[in-house]
Structures are given as C-alpha cells and as structure tokens.
C-alpha cells in the first residue's frame, strides 16, 4: 500500500498553531508493508533512515496507543525539503501514522492524528497540529481543539506563489524565540485578522485574504531569524501580490494575488539578490492524504 501526504502552509498569516492549508505540491509518499519490527528506507531529500525518522516515530506511536505488537517496513519518498516551513516533518509524520493505520485496519481520525503529533513532537519539540491536520484532511483547516479532535474545514480553492530559499529555519529554533506573553493589543489584532480571514476565505475574496496575511504573535519575534523577510515581501508586493508572509515557521514564504508567476519570480529574484538561491513555484489548495 502507498500513502501520500501533501505539504502544508501552517499559521497562514494570523492563525498561529490553528490555521493550515494543504497545497498540491510537493508531498511525501510512503510505501508500507507489515513487518515484525520498524524499518525505513529513504529516497529523495535527506532525512534519517532510522528510528528517529518521524514517520517511524508516528507509526510506532500508533502501535503503542493500540497496544499492538509488530511493526511496519516503510519506503519513504521524501518530496518535501526538511526545515522548509512547508510542513515537511508534519507530512512524514502523518504518512507514517496513516501507513500504520492501514496495516492495523484503524480508521479513527483522532488516534491517527494523535500518533502523527508524536512525530511532530520528536521533530520540533512541540505537538502542534497545523501541519499534520491539513495534510490529513486537505483544504484549509481550523483547529478548534486536538483532544477531543475538533477541526473545521473550508473547501477553498486558492492559488499561491511559494518561494523556498536554500537556507534552513528549524521549527524547534523558531519556537524558542517566542515569548511567554504577548501584548493585549497584538492579541486583539490577531483575533480581528483571523476571524476576518475565515470569512474572506469562504468568499474566496483574494484581495482581502492577501491584506490579512499578517501576524503579531510569532512573526515579530521570528523576523530576526529571517533577515530577508522585508525585502522579499516588498518584492512580492511590488510585483502585484495582495499579500505575502511566512509559511509555517519559515524560511518558505507564500503570496496570494492574480499574477502569481510574476510574484513568485520576483520573490525568487529578491532572494538571489541577497546571495541566497531559491526555488519558486505556483500551486494551489491541495487535497488531503491519499492511500492506494
Ligand atoms: N521524515 C522526516 N521528514 C522531515 N524531517 C524529519 C523527518 N525525520 C526526521 N526529521 C527531522 O525533523 C526535523 C524537521 O524540522 P522542521 O520541523 O523544522 O521542518 P519542517 O517540517 O519543514 O518545518 P515546518 O514545520 O515549519 O513546516 C529535522 O531535524 C529533520 O532531520
Ligand atoms: N505553527 C507552527 C508551524 C510550524 O510549521 C509554528 O509556527 O511553529
């Protein structure tokens, strides 16, 4: 059996740890077979090919949650670059949990997601769900709570320009710079932007979506890890983007607008001008994980 899990844009502006959107490309793929222990082989982007691979961590977690013996052999085709901000660890964790679920005949979403979150915990020190959950369900997801699992999904179709520079920002590091407390005015601003963004997404009002791609809870503290942010943002806006911000904890950035090819190119060139190679592409809201 094969499992496919798409990349995701977590936070999506003002929805820190709550909003996430699956994108059509890239994605991770796992071929799974039942086995008497846990083994993994990796092709594609470089990630550990041992028990520390988050696909294995998540698969093991599901076996443990169910009190099952045995294991799985997985061949992971790693399509999402790690430390990218595109939910690389989230997609592999989810693929590992779904792969184990298929072997065990489990269909309980909450158990699968709990297991996948153990992979996220191992990768970044925090079991945030805003990569794993949109990767599972597809579309745009809003996490009301993880336990019990309450997720709201918006079936939007939104095109985005994505730029991925050849630099790494580990989520674990990006979470260490966050403060314990934030000013009330910033919390209020995020609340205003996040609730308005949900309505704009439902109406597929791209201009308003773009205007609301901002954040006062994490981005102000993380910007020091991304000194290129303002220049790339300015380049995207000058090229006609309605809005642009960081994907997840970065370094990838994404923008919305009408002429996304030009916007993507402008963001790529802005990185190049700072001496950082970057790839860029246009994609859109993706479906959730698939198995076949
Ligand atoms: N299968 C895997 N896929 C991705 N990362 C993995 C995997 N297995 C282990 N890792 C490790 O987990 C860490 C992933 O880092 P991180 O969570 O920062 O990346 P990311 O998922 O791309 O970021 P983000 O969550 O912001 O989108 C790296 O240290 C990487 O080596
Ligand atoms: N919400 C998480 C996503 C990481 O991809 C964070 O911003 O730390």
| pLDDT tens by residue, 72-112 | 999 999 999 999 999 999 999 999 999 999 999 999 999 99
Residue 55 alpha carbon to ligand 1 centre in Å: 10
Q: Is this complex's ipTM strictly greater than 0.90?
A: yes
Q: Which atom of ligand 1 is nearest to the CA of 128?
A: 25
Distance (Å, whole) CA 14 – CA 248: 11
44 and 80 in a single domain? The answer is yes
| pLDDT tens by residue, 186-227 | 999 999 999 999 999 999 999 999 999 999 999 999 999 999
Q: Is the CB of 17 under 6 A from ligand 2?
A: yes
105 is in an annotated binding site: no
56 and 169 in a single domain? The answer is no
87 is in an annotated binding site: yes
Q: Is the CB of 11 under 6 A from ligand 2?
A: yes
Q: Is 120 a catalytic residue?
A: yes
Q: Report pLDDT for 210.
A: 98
pLDDT at 282 over 90: yes
CB-count burial class (<10 Å; 0-12, 13-18, 19+) for 125: middle
149 and 172 in a single domain? The answer is no
139 and 118 in a single domain? The answer is yes
187 and 280 in a single domain? The answer is yes
CATH number at residue 209: 3.30.70.890
Q: What is the mean pLDDT of residues 47-66?
A: 97
Strands, sheet with 278-284, edge to edge from the N-terminal-most edge strand: 243-246, 253-256, 159-165, 278-284
158 is in an annotated binding site: no
Q: Report pLDDT for 57.
A: 98
7 and 146 in a single domain? The answer is yes
Q: Is the CB of 123 under 6 A from ligand 1?
A: yes
Q: Which helix (H) or strand (E) holds 11?
A: none
The mean pLDDT of the chain is 97
State the residue range of the domain holding 35: 2-153+287-291
Q: Is 283 a catalytic residue?
A: no
Domain count, the chain: 2
97 and 7 in a single domain? The answer is yes
Among protein residues, the one with the nearest Cα to ligand 2's atom 1 is 17
Taking alpha carbons only, the member of 87, 85, 24, 26 closest to residue 54 is 87
Q: Is the CB of 249 under 6 A from ligand 1?
A: yes
CATH number at residue 46: 3.30.230.10
175 and 279 in a single domain? The answer is yes
Query: Tokens representing 235?
Result: 């380049």
146 and 204 in a single domain? The answer is no
Count Cα neighbours of 173 within 13 Å in the Cβ-side half-sphere: 13
168 and 136 in a single domain? The answer is no
Q: Is the CB of 55 under 6 A from ligand 1?
A: yes
Task: Provide, rounded to the nearest whole percent, the portion of the chain with pLDDT above 90.
Answer: 97
Distance (Å, whole) CA 214 – CA 69: 46
Handedness of CA 114, 158, 76, 82 (dihedral sign): negative
Among the residues of 42-87, which ranges form H helices? 54-66
130 and 194 in a single domain? The answer is no
Do 291 and 3 contact (CB within 8 A), yes or no?
yes
Query: Tokens representing 52?
Result: 């520390």
Residue 119 alpha carbon to ligand 1 centre in Å: 9
Q: Which atom of ligand 1 is nearest to the CA of 92?
A: 1
Query: Tokens representing 151?
Result: 């997720």
Q: Is the CB of 96 under 6 A from ligand 1?
A: no
83 and 165 in a single domain? The answer is no
Residue 82 alpha carbon to ligand 1 centre in Å: 5
Quickly state the pLDDT bin for 173 (edges 50, 70, 90). very high
pLDDT at 126 over 90: no
| pLDDT tens by residue, 237-263 | 999 999 999 999 999 999 999 999 999
């Amino acid at each position: 059996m094969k499992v496919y899990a798409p990349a995701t844009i977590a936070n999506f502006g003002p929805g820190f740890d709550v909003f996430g959107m699956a994108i059509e490309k890239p994605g991770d793929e796992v071929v799974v077979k039942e086995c008497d222990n846990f083994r993994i082989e990796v092709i594609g982007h470089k990630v550990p090919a041992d028990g520390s691979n988050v696909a294995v961590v998540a698969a093991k977690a599901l076996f443990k949650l169910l009190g099952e013996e045995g294991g799985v052999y997985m061949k992971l085709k790693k399509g999402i670059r790690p430390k990218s901000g595109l939910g690389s660890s989230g997609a592999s964790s989810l693929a590992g949990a779904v792969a184990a679920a298929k072997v065990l005949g489990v269909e309980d979403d909450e158990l699968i997601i709990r297991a996948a979150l153990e992979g996220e915990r191992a990768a970044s020190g925090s079991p945030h769900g805003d990569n794993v959950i949109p990767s599972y369900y597809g579309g745009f997801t809003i996490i009301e709570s993880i336990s019990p699992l309450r997720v709201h999904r918006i079936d939007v179709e939104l095109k985005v320009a994505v730029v991925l520079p050849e630099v790494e920002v580990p989520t674990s590091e990006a979470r260490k710079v966050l403060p314990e407390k934030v000013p009330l005015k910033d919390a209020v601003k995020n609340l205003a932007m996040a609730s308005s963004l949900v309505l704009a997404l439902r109406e597929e009002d791209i201009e308003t979506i773009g205007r609301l791609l901002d954040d006062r809870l994490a981005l102000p503290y993380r910007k020091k890890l991304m000194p290129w942010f303002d220049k790339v943002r300015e380049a995207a806006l000058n090229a006609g983007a309605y809005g642009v911000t960081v994907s997840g904890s970065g370094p990838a950035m994404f923008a919305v607008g009408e002429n996304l090819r030009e916007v993507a190119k402008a963001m790529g060139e802005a990185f190049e001008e700072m001496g950082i190679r970057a790839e860029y592409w246009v994609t859109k809201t993706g479906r959730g994980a698939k198995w076949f």
